[in-house]
Structure 1
Amino acid sequence: MDNFKEIFATYGVDYDATLRRFAGNMALYLRVLGMLPNDKSLEKLGAAIDSGDLDNAFEAAHTLKGVAGNLGLTPLCEAVHTIVEPLRAREKRSDYVELYTAVQAEYQKAEAFVETLKSIHQI
């Protein structure tokens, strides 16, 4: 499991805190983590931002933040946090596309984290 700890640390996941959320059950964590690519929140967020729908953008961002937080994907959670708070307040801003682009970039890193784990453990 030391290899797992190194992979988690490289991405920015607190291994111990994350595994505590899953009652120390790595198999459960890996199974749930493997579902991340099926979550459509990122796509919904992008579509809502493109259409200027702040209500649906907030809902999608809030969901994605919760998913990332529960999975211990701290870098992704932090990236989403930067967009979810102004959306919560329904702030009219001109930088939502840039904030979304930063979330997309971090999401890609999270996907790479998942793929790395898949390469050493079947999830």
Structure 2
Amino acid sequence: MEVKTFYEQLGMGYEDVSGRLGSDALIKKFVIRFLDDASFTRLRDGLQENDGEKAFRAAHTLKGICLNLSFDTLYKPCAEITEALRDGRITEGCNTLFLEVEKEYNRLTKAVRSILIGGETK
């Protein structure tokens, strides 16, 4: 599948990422490499460990990656949880926000595996 079609099907900003990275081959390379990024896992672990600083750093990193790759649908919940964690404290609302991050992260990673690399394995 074409990268542009992938972005359009997921409701994300192909034109923005194309302007930033230039070629579909480069976009696809970085989108697939996103699967190897540990920020989501670190965010989840930070919340489970009640480590607000760790959770904040992970959320902030994940937000930045989403911005760079124009993962608009994941960026929004990442931005919200980043702001909720900015002072380093985990509130009850952070768990609700994490559920939104997790839902969109799972949807996005599943789509990358099935659409861009043609299978459920990585």
Classify the TM-score, shorter chain: 0.7 to 0.9
SS at match of 1:90: coil
Paired position in structure 1 for 2:4 = 5
In structure 2, what residue type is equivalent to 1:99?
L
CA 1:4–1:35: 2 relative to 1, 3 Å: closer
Quick one: distance in 2 between partners of 1:44 and 1:21?
27
1:64 to partner: Cα distance: 0.5
In structure 1, what residue type is equivalent to 2:46?
A
RMSD: 1.9
Paired position in structure 1 for 2:14 = 15
Are residue 29 (structure 1) and residue 23 (structure 2) matched?
no
Quick one: distance in 1 between partners of 2:14 and 2:43?
28
User: Which consecutive unaligned segments of at least 5 residues does structure 2 have?
Assistant: none
In structure 1, what residue type is equivalent to 2:10?
Y
Paired position in structure 1 for 2:47 = 49
1:19 to partner: Cα distance: 0.6
Quick one: distance in 1 between partners of 2:90 and 2:77?
19
Paired position in structure 2 for 1:111 = 109
Identity within the alignment, %: 29
SS at match of 2:117: helix
What is the TM-score with the length of structure 1 in the denominator?
A: 0.86
1:93 to partner: Cα distance: 1.6
Quick one: distance in 2 between partners of 1:26 and 1:80?
25
What is the TM-score with the length of structure 2 in the denominator?
A: 0.87
Quick one: distance in 2 between partners of 1:96 and 1:11?
25
In structure 1, what residue type is equivalent to 2:111?
F
1:92 to partner: Cα distance: 4.7
In structure 1, what residue type is equivalent to 2:15?
D
